[in-house]
Amino acid sequence: MKILLCFGTRPEAIKMAPVYHQLKKQVNVEVKLCVTAQHREMLDQVLDFFEIVPDYDLDLMQPNQTLNSLSALILSNIDIVLKEVKPDLVLVHGDTTTSSMVALAAFHLGIRIGHIEAGLRSFNKQTPFPEEINRQLTSKLADIHFSPTAVATQNLLNEGIHSQNIIQTGNTVIDTLQWTLTKISKEEYSLHEIEILKKTIPADKKIVLVTGHRRENYGEGFKNICNALLSIANRDDVSIVYPVHLNPNVQDVVYQKLADQENIYLIAPVSYPAFVWLMQQSFLIVTDSGGIQEEAPSLGKPVLVTRTVSERPEGVEAGFSQIIGAEQEKIEKSIVELLDTFSGFKDIENPYGEGNASQKIVDFLLSKI
């Protein structure tokens, strides 16, 4: 069996890395990897950490590119790769423009498609944009659906996808997280980035770790988030650590509002192992990221989600996450409540998996050889 994995962003790379390495161990599988690099620098950090060298690098990232121009570039360039590799199966992940366009290109050529992290739904095509439509489109095109949870499985069944084409595995990000925690905990492991963070961030305060990048928060949303953080930073027991996304729609507002403020540490985006270390040190996390909602339960960290809806309801139902939107008063109130009352989770069991999702995916594929 010849399998082509395709991804283009840092989150995809993080979640596909364990699948790639599991497949590379198999003697009956020929594995090829293509990256579109719709994110360049952040993608390269992950590839380096996981010791992955792509067979094909389309290097499609351009300044200020639109979704339509990116989609057209992916379609035209991946067509060449697919015709050269002639895979039996293409594996894509999640909800990116790369995933949906590669799936469409493979469908046009009659190549089977496996969709990892299938079945997530917000049921609002504008939130998150364009991810919700990307994942729905990919589900319509895919032949095999690797769903992470029972909720995701049910979403697919509700859309008329046959149960024999759905394999519930857990989320591969938990595999990645566990692998990373093991690696960075070893005495011989050293990362200059982490050493700098240790010297920069006070160890005697409650760390509020913040991330944000969603389009729906551009403008007023990010202004509200920053104003809330300014208020929280007045507390003597808090340090706010914010790796600021490279997108100018995020950077311009964040640096204008929060630069040179006491108890606020604005830092450049960090590598995945450094970010895992930051999550370990944090008291709570404020984010609009999907992956962090999945990882945080394994670390025992509460998450405040600055969105109005999440396609990851399992964490909310289990009490690990709260959806708080992007209103200043709600953000402030939610952060203060956790800072003053949170004392840890009891009987932690991550609803997103046990760390064996990639093995389940590979076992299924091997059963079909």
CA distances from 169 to 119, 178, 227 (A): 12, 16, 40
Exactly one of 213, 216, 327, 354 is catalytic; name it: 213
**Catalytic (active site) residue 245:** yes
Instruction: Spell out the SS3 assignment of the chain.
Output: CEEEEEECCHHHHHHHHHHHHHHHCCCCCEEEEEECCCCCHHHHHHHHHCCCCCCEECCCCCCCCCHHHHHHHHHHHHHHHHHHHCCCEEEEECCCHHHHHHHHHHHHCCCEEEEECCCCCCCCCCCCCCHHHHHHHHHHHCCEEEECCHHHHHHHHHCCCCHHHEEECCCHHHHHHHHHHHHHHCCCCCCHHHHHHHHHCCCCCEEEEECCCCHHHCCHHHHHHHHHHHHHCCCCCEEEEEECCCCHHHHHHHHHHHCCCCCEEEECCCCHHHHHHHHHHCCEEEECCHHHHHHHHHHCCCEEECCCCCCCHHHHHCCCEEECCCCHHHHHHHHHHHHHHCCCCCCCCCCCCCCCHHHHHHHHHHHCC
- Amino acid, single-letter form, for residue 248: P
Exactly one of 215, 216, 235, 327 is catalytic; name it: 215
**Do residues 36 and 16 touch, judged by C-beta distance below 8 A?**
no
**Catalytic (active site) residue 39:** no
Exactly one of 10, 115, 131, 332 is catalytic; name it: 131
**Do residues 73 and 97 touch, judged by C-beta distance below 8 A?**
no
**Catalytic (active site) residue 260:** no
Say which residues have a Cβ less than 8 Å from residue 31's Cβ, sequence separation at least 6.
3, 5, 20, 23, 24
**Catalytic (active site) residue 131:** yes
**Catalytic (active site) residue 215:** yes
Exactly one of 245, 295, 311, 312 is catalytic; name it: 245
**Catalytic (active site) residue 162:** no
Exactly one of 10, 12, 39, 95 is catalytic; name it: 95
CA distances from 256 to 190, 247, 287 (A): 34, 14, 19
Exactly one of 10, 39, 117, 294 is catalytic; name it: 117
**What angle do helix axes 10-24 and 41-49 make, rounded to 10 degrees?**
30
Q: Please give the positions annotated as active site.
A: 95, 117, 131, 213, 215, 245
